Amino acid sequence: MDKNELISLFHKELRQDAQVKGYIREETEHVVRHISQFGEKGFIVSSNVNEGNIKEIIKNELSYFSNLEQNFEWKVYNYDKPDSLKDILRQEGFTIEDPEALMVMELDEQLPLLKNDRHVNLKEITDYKGIQDIIFLEDVIWNVPHTELGERLWRDKQNNPESLYLYGIYEDGQLVSAAWMYLEENSSFASLWGGSTLPLFRGKGYYTALLATRAKKAYEKGYPFLTVDASTMSRPILEKCGFLCLAFSYGCQSPSTKQ
């Protein structure tokens, strides 16, 4: 597949048609929105808007989510139209986060990543304590609370264990690096998340080891593609492993809709 074909496949499967556990999908003429069933933040993953109607639609969505008392993220990709979408959201009170690179890789049995057998203290995490270890790690690295993430990971692992795989690397009983993967329903893509390592333990190949473990699992489960939203720190490692950068995305966070 060439780059444009991959973007089209990603857009259809993980934006327009995506079904996310724990969320109610709603499609209107102009947006695809997902409403949390657990009082968490909702999101708009795809939109069909233009310069003439965008401000009215933004106001409608703010009103809609406000009635639910649910904050939300409007995810914008740099190929979305109109080109000014992100800037208009900012004008309407949204906070625009730093860009992330949309990275995709096709899994093939000849892929060097699938042959990576680096021996580290890597284990699959399936229990509540392990997930709490991950949340503590994320809190320490990013200096913001991840309570909601922990609740969602534990809920998803209990309710849909074959759709979520979590892995960690331990040193002297301490979790020092962790990552997880969702096998997306009715999709060609397995999506990668996390990939965080404590500063003192970076440079040891842990990120790549976690990447390889998840790639092997996805390939074993029959998924042809991996996808990840990559930070500027992660992108070079992913490109070295064979990922292609398709686009850039921006998390646009709504002003508070809660009363």
- Express each pLDDT in 25-45 by its tens digit: 999 999 999 999 999 999 999
Give the pLDDT band of residue 259 (cuts 50, 70, 90): low
Per-residue pLDDT averaged across 193-217, rounded?
Answer: 94
Instruction: For Cα atoms 223, 19, 82, give the angle at the middle one, nearest 5 degrees.
Output: 100
Give tens-digit pLDDT for 238-249: 999 999 999 999
Give the pLDDT band of residue 80 (cuts 50, 70, 90): very high
Q: Are 244 and 61 in contact (CB under 8 A)?
A: no
75, containing H or E segment: strand 72-77
Q: Give the pair of three-digit tokens for residue 135.
A: 């949340």
Q: Is the dihedral of CA 156, 232, 243, 14 positive or negative?
A: positive
Place of tokens 């934006």: 15
Give tens-digit pLDDT for 141-180: 999 999 999 999 999 999 999 999 999 999 999 999 999 9
Q: Provide the whole-model pTM.
A: 0.93
Give the pLDDT band of residue 119 (cuts 50, 70, 90): low
Per-residue pLDDT averaged across 243-259, rounded?
Answer: 91
Closest CA to 176 of 153, 193, 201: 201
Mean pLDDT in the chain? 95
Per-residue pLDDT averaged across 229-238, rounded?
Answer: 92
Chain centre distance of CA 156: 15
